[in-house]
Structure 1
Amino acid sequence: MVSLLIFLRWLFQKVSAVVLIGVLALASYGVWMFLKDNVDFDLQRNEIVRALNGEREKIHGALDDVDERLDLLTAQIETEGELVTKTEKIIAKLESLESTWDRLIGNPEQQVANLAQKEKMIGVRTGAEQRIAVLQEKFDRTTWEREGLEIALGRTEARLVKIDQQQSKVLHYLEAAWLKIRWWLLGAVAFYLLGPSVVKGFMYYGIAPTIIRGRPVRLSDQCKEMPETSPSRVALDIPLQTGERLWIKERFLQASDEGLQKKTRFLFDWRMPFTCLASGLTELVEMKSAEDETNQRVTLSNQANPYIELAVINLVEGSSLILRPSFLVGAIASADTRVKIRRHWQLFRWQAWVTLQFRFFEFVGPCRLIVAGSRGVRAEVLTKNAGEKTQARRANQNSIIGFTPNLDYRPVRAETFWGYYRGMNPLFDDLFAGEGVFLCQQIPSDDEMRPIRKFWAGLWSGVLKVFGL
């Protein structure tokens, strides 16, 4: 029952869209034709009626001429037919007078005269029959001409009746628009109904198998220490030691000890202003403990969305993490240092062009990173035991937060065509292989995919992804 309701809703959406396309196209073109016409509608209508009446009179005159010719041809055919009949009677009578006795002994002169008369009559009959054939051919062609004139007369009278019934300007211009653009409109509707299916089928079965054969991306050969990830929670209580400094987005700051020194930091890192602006790492609250204060605490949570959970990633000396800065909400480092960030460009890889991610940000320890994820943040640990095959795991592209740089990273085709076709999964998933860690959201946020904002959110997300954000 649920599947039937989903199908009916899909069918209703398609039909509604087709009707909307048709109405908008006809209305737009009709309005354009109306604005283009510089003559009065009624005046133009009267001119058309006058022209059609003149055309009808011409057709009637042509029909009268054709009827006269048909009558003349009929009379001529009848005359020639009567001549044929008379000659056949004379020939038959002459044949009855033929006699072998008269031809040899009795009256040979009369027999010779009869034979000459018979041949003359045969010639007359042959000429009449030939003229009948010519006349009949003319009669047939004239009949066809009459039928064509009758068809043209019917069309003209139908147009006159239609124009007489059509008193609305709206219907007039809609009909004119339909006659002008009907084939273009039908093509557009066919493209709307079949185009996405054809394109998605070509992408899934034609393009994707070629792309996934490419060499995976590996940004570092080794990772000395693995990051440590805390369990994600709606609210985090974070201790801030003396000599540590915290940068946090203001909307994630729920509570803090009074002994902390606070100020505003307009950009997380002044060396990459565009990245900070695009990722929302602006107007951060910077906190650090006073020299005479120890064990200060800060409570963090998303004040607007209760489904967002936070997790702390601890990067010790020698560890690093490839992270999309749009998931970063805060960082903790020594008060006299800044968070070290390396940038990796991958312009000449198929994977980069497929995923539209050409730049990767590597956050290097020692530091602590605070990340946010929808319904939680999950750390997937890939290990390799002696004698076992290298472990690999795929994940939804929209849910990936970050991964250790020593992992092999490449796109793989979505597991099922139906899931990709219905928009439940992107064309490519992310596949990680090797020994390391990757982080992902428990559930990809659906805010970007809301129907009204889907296109623009997707476009903006793609722009951010190009720059690795």
Structure 2
Amino acid sequence: MVFYCCEVSQSYTSHTSITKLLKTRGVKLQGGHTVNVSLKPTETLFIHLGWLQYCPLEVTKRTRFLWSYRYPLLSYVANLKEMQALNLPAEVAEACITLGSKQDSHKHIISIELSEHKAVVLHPKYIIATRGDVHIKTRWILNRLHSWVTGRLRYIIFYGTGTIYVYGQGGISLERVEPQKRVRVDQHALIGSQANLTFTTIRNETFWGYYREKEALFDYHFMGDGIVIRQATVSNELIALANANPFMRIVNNFMTIIGKVLGF
């Protein structure tokens, strides 16, 4: 499995040894807020709306309501829907397509190349495009307390031979996990990890910070031998949405109504 990163160099300025380790494992780093995709006639690029910055006139576009009609329910639930399918005519040897956010310049891109059915666990909301023979499956984990603590009972696993393009806010870091070195990651910053890694949860914050929807209460603690992908920054809105509990929603809605009545 090879990771091609965009705009991660700043994340590694104080992690030179990590960068060397990653390079020995076939991890290549690239710069820029965009990524160029070399499309061939035998390939199809599926891309979310709003992420295609440039494509030649020779490229044909068509609407793809579901990423995979082989997995219609999974595609819909994973938000892999309302995409574009890009193809190249047989008479054109190759075309260069540029991917990048049209709305937020702070979103950075990483491409994950899968081969020989290697698997990676990803949050589908960070996926912007796929190319090649990529498949999807799920795994329910109901018998572990850590899954209930994080509220994540089902994991989306991508495998096959192809490329998955994902984005991260403010930069992307690849954290190396080794048997002698465990990695701790904020659950809100986590994008994905190699499927062979195991994890537990550890207490991260005081209860009041979690109660006020400012911090995550638990972090992921990864073990094994592989790579964890995380983004550099997380918006307050995402933290609040992830931490929102029914009681606080009721209180906030009530205070909003009172504020409107009082003219605030």
TM-score class, shorter-chain normalisation, is 0.7 to 0.9
CA contact (8 A) 2:63 2:83 kept: yes
- Given residue 232 of structure 2, which amino acid in structure 1 is its aligned partner? Q
Q: Which protein has greater RCO, CA pairs closer than 8 Å, 6+ apart?
A: 2
Matches within 5 A, 1:51-62: none
Deviations 1:96-115 (A, max 9, x none): xxxxxxxxxxxxxxxxxxxx
Q: Superposed, which structure 2 residues align to 1:109-258 within 5 Å?
A: 226-232=1-7, 233-258=32-57
In the other structure, the counterpart of 1:330 is 129
Matched residue type, 2:144:
R
Residues 447 and 277 of structure 1: CA distance in aligned 2, closer, same or farther (over 3 Å): farther
Segment of structure 1 superposing worse, 405-414 or 420-429? 420-429
CA contact (8 A) 1:227 1:319 kept: no
2:65 corresponds to: 266
1:7-51 CA distances to partner (integer Å, 9 max, x unpaired)? xxxxxxxxxxxxxxxxxxxxxxxxxxxxxxxxxxxxxxxxxxxxx
* Cα pair distance change 1:458/1:332, threshold 3 Å: farther
Which of the two has greater helix per residue? Answer: 1
Looking at structure 1, the residues matched to 244 and 209 of structure 2 have their Cα atoms a distance apart, in angstroms, of 18
Runs of 4+ in 1 over 3 A off after TM superposition: 271-280, 415-424, 454-460
SS at match of 1:326: helix
The 3-state SS of whatever aligns with 2:75 is helix
Between structures 1 and 2, the one with greater strand share: 2
Could you say which residue in structure 2 is the equivalent of 1:398? 188
Contact 1:321 1:402 in 2 (8 A): yes
SS at match of 1:438: strand
- 1: distance between equivalents of 2:243 and 2:88? 39
Does structure 2 conserve the Cα–Cα contact (< 8 Å) formed by 1:322 and 1:360? yes
Distance in 2 (CA, whole Å) between partners of 1:291 and 1:457 is: 50
Unaligned runs of 5+ in 1: 1-225, 385-389, 461-469
Give yes or no for the alignment of 1:434 onto 2:224.
yes
CA RMSD of aligned residues (A): 2.5
* Residues 1:360 and 2:132 are matched in the alignment: no
Contact in 2 for aligned 1:414/1:420 (Cα 8 Å): no
One-letter identity of the residue aligned with 1:322: V
Partner SS for 2:50: helix
Instruction: Flag the 1:271–1:351 CA change in 2: closer, same or farther, 3 A.
Output: farther
Q: Is the alpha carbon distance of 1:265 and 1:376 closer, same or farther for their aligned partners in structure 2, counting shifts above 3 Å?
A: same
Aligned residues, how many?
A: 222
Q: 2:146 aligned with 1:371, yes or no?
A: no
| Counterpart-to-counterpart distance in 2, 1:413 and 1:271 | 40
Q: Which moved more, 1:439-448 or 1:268-277?
A: 268-277
**Matches of 1:228 and 1:306, distance apart in 2:** 21
Residue of structure 1 equivalent to 2:10: none
Which deviations, in whole Å up to 9, do the C-alpha atoms of 1:125-151 show, x marking residues without a partner? xxxxxxxxxxxxxxxxxxxxxxxxxxx
Partner residue of 1:314 out of 113, 131, 147: 113
Rg comparison, structure with higher value: 1
Counterparts of residues 341-360 of structure 1 (less than 5 Å): 341-360=136-155
Q: Name the amino acid aligned to 1:398.
A: H
SS in 2 for 1:293: coil
| CA distance in structure 2 between the aligned counterparts of 1:428 and 1:409, rounded to whole angstroms | 12
1:296 corresponds to: 95
CA distance in 1, matches of 2:195, 2:160: 13
CA-to-aligned-CA distance 1:141-170 (integer Å, 9 cap, x gap): xxxxxxxxxxxxxxxxxxxxxxxxxxxxxx
Over the matched positions of the two proteins, sequence identity in percent amounts to 27
Task: Give 1:309 deviation, angstroms.
Answer: 1.4
Contact 1:227 1:321 in 2 (8 A): no
The verdict on how the C-alpha distance between 1:243 and 1:457 changes in structure 2, with shifts beyond 3 A counting, is: farther
Correspondence for 2:204: 414
Take 1:442 and 1:243, find their aligned partners in 2: how far apart are those partners? 36
Question: TM-score of the superposition, structure 1-length normalised?
Answer: 0.44
